[in-house]
Structure formats: C-alpha cells, structure tokens
Amino acid sequence: MKTRSKIRIPMPARYVINLALVVGFYFLLTGLISSGIITNYWTGILITVGINIILAVSLNIATGYLGQLPLGHAGFMAVGAYAGGIFMKATPAAALLKEGNTAALIPYILAAIVISAVVAGIFGVIIGIPALRLRGDYLAIITLGFGEIIRVVLTNIDSVLGFDFTYGAAGLKRIPKFASVTLVFICVVLACFFIHTMMKSKHGRAILSIRDNEIASESVGVNTTYYKTMAFVFSAMLAGIAGCLYAGYLGSLYPSTFKFMKSIEILVIVVLGGMGSMLGSIVSATVLTVLPELLRSVADYRMVAYSLALVVMMIFRPKGLFGSYDFSMSRVLEKALNFVFRPELRKGKEEADNEQN
C-alpha cells in the first residue's frame, strides 16, 4: 500500500489562518456590540477582560516562562497607568475626543501607550536588576516591597514636588477615555503575538532553559542575567500598557487601586490558567473577570466561591487548568485534516501506541 505522508500546513498559511480567525472574531465582536446584543455594560466588562488578559499574559512571562514569582505586577501597571494618564491629560486629546475626531486622536493614543510601556520598562530595569539576583520567596518579597513603594510614592509625591502631579489619594481625574474595544482588542492581539514570537525563538528558549535549570543554561553559554532581566522588563512593559488602557477606560486613577491585592489577583489568574500556558492565562482572565459579574446577585458569597474554586483547583489540577499546554489552531486543523484524508495514518498511530505500552 502506498503510504502518503502526513498533511502539514505550511508556515505562511498558518499565519494567514490565525490572522483570518482573529479578524473574524473582531468583526463578530463589533457586530454584536453595534447590533446591541452586547450591551454597554457588557462592553465595559469586555474591555476589563482585555486589560486583564494583557496583565495575565505579561505576568505569565515572569512566572510561567521565567519561573520566578514576582508580586509587584500591580506596581508596573500603576506606573504605566499614571504615565499614560498624565500624558493624555497634558495633550488636547480630551477636546478631540469630544469632537469625535478619532483619526487625530490616534497619534496621541500611540504615544501614550509607548510612553507607559517605556516608563514601566525603566522601572522594570531598576527593580529587576537587584531583584533578580534573588529567587523564590526572596524575589517575591522584594518585588512586593517595590510594588508597595510605587503605590506609596504615587500617593505622596505631590507634597514632595510641591505641585500637582499625581493628585495623591484624591485621584488623577478627567483622563480622556480613549480605550475603545477596538484599541484593547488590538493591544491584546499584539501582546499575545509578540509573546508568542519571542518565546518561539532562541531568546524564548533561553528564558525557558533558565526556568528548567539555571546552572545548565549557564554551562551552555546562555547569559542568564541578561535574559532574566529581559523577560522581567518585557513583562513590566506589557503591564504598563495594560495600565495605560486601564487609565483610558476608567478616566480616573487612585493609588489604592494598585494595592498588593491587585498583584495577587493577577497571579491567581495566571496560576489558575496554568503557569506557562498563554491559552490558560487568556481563558482564566476571561472567566475570572466575567464570573464575578455574573455572580453579582450573590455578591456576599462571591469570594467564598472564588476561594473554594482555587482550593479545589489546587487539589485536583495543581498545574492549573491547562498546565503548560498551548493551543495552536494549525495543529488542530492538521489533526483534523489528517484524520479525514489520511485514515491509514490513524491505524499506524494506534500500533505505535501499542508498541510503546
């Protein structure tokens, strides 16, 4: 019998398929919103979901891929939020937004995102270089401390500077609300794309090798300090972008939002989804944002259910919902195609399985 080789989807086609899916999903989403099936209330929740996804996938770089446990993610988010918020307040973006002149708004939005990413990245370098000398619990404590420092500085810096900068505990208000579903959607897609492309390269492999065995990766010449800092800074930058979107969505910022519990919330999302799985982070960010909204009617028991879910999770699936499994549309398609068009390979697979057993 002539054996045909397995069907493989060529590389460019994979990207086309994924792009088509993303675009399709976008139009589905905007269609549902404009037709009114997704109400205004739920549109707001969708934006929060998007922001949480960015936060989760960015923290996942540091926890899942690099294998460290930083607890100061809310700090980077705060830095990005305030950087973006203060910048947008200084620009004529508010007036443009009122006019509905979106085209003129785009450069300001781009600039705000870049600024928040850069500022959060700088803080990432400042915190990462000393913090990454430590590991495990010590790294957790030092990043927790840094996160709190950022919050306290944001609260009190005005009295030091002598003029209004962050408006302290009263909050930074009247930030132009520039975060639309489209903007957040694009940011989520780009964040996921760039994380994916980084992780599937020599740089990503270096980061994963540090997680698995730092001594061994040094022994093969991987500059571990460099890659640890790089992953940490990249994670901080994305958190900064999420913060910027958060500022643009809510329109007002309070330092108390970025308490230690916010960092824990993000960590819970990552742990629940499965450390090292981007799909896990995305699904779990969605579920953990939407679920509390659905459970609003039983708000009193919400936290009980939440904690219970975590406990059950840790007992039955300690590696998270998805472990380190990552989803690939092309792989699923390939399997389906092979299943339909190459039935002879199915049998071969069974035999191979039996041999292994």
Partner 1 sequence: MSRTERPKTKLVPVPATNIIPERDVSLPPILEARHLGIDFGGLSAVSDFNFAIGRTEIAGLIGPNGAGKTTVFNLLTKVYQPTRGTILLDGMDTAGKTTIQVNQMGIARTFQNIRLFRDLSVLDNVLVGLHNETKYTLGTAMFRLPQYWRKERIAKERALELLSIFDMQDMADHKAGSLPYGAQRRLEIVRALATNPCLLLLDEPAAGMNPSETSELMDNIVRIRDMFGIAILLIEHDMNLVMGICEGICVLNFGKIIAKGTPEDIQANPAVIEAYLGKKKEGQ
Binding site for partner 1 (CB under 8 A): 11, 194, 197-198, 200-206, 208-209, 211-213, 215-224, 230, 324
Exposure string of 250-262, with b = 16+ CB inside 10 Å and e = fewer, is bbebbbebbebeb
Question: Which C-beta is closer to partner 1: that of 203 or that of 302?
Answer: 203
Question: Which C-beta is closer to partner 1: that of 194 or that of 339?
Answer: 194
CA 62 – CA 132 distance, rounded (Å): 11
Question: Which C-beta is closer to partner 1: that of 60 or that of 257?
Answer: 60
CA 51 – CA 243 distance, rounded (Å): 8
Question: Which C-beta is closer to partner 1: that of 25 or that of 226?
Answer: 226
Closest contact distance (angstroms) between CB of 240 and partner 1 is 17
Sequence-ordered list of residues with C-beta below 8 angstroms from that of 227, at least 6 positions apart, any chain: 203, 206, 207, 210
Place of tokens 């590389």: 11
Closest contact distance (angstroms) between CB of 269 and partner 1 is 21
Are the C-beta atoms of 2 and 342 separated by less than 8 Å?
A: no
Closest contact distance (angstroms) between CB of 338 and partner 1 is 16
Question: Which C-beta is closer to partner 1: that of 10 or that of 100?
Answer: 10
Closest contact distance (angstroms) between CB of 77 and partner 1 is 22
Closest contact distance (angstroms) between CB of 69 and partner 1 is 17
Could you give the angle at which helices 73-90 and 137-161 cross, rounded to 10 degrees?
30
Q: Give residue 66's Cα distance to chain centre.
A: 15
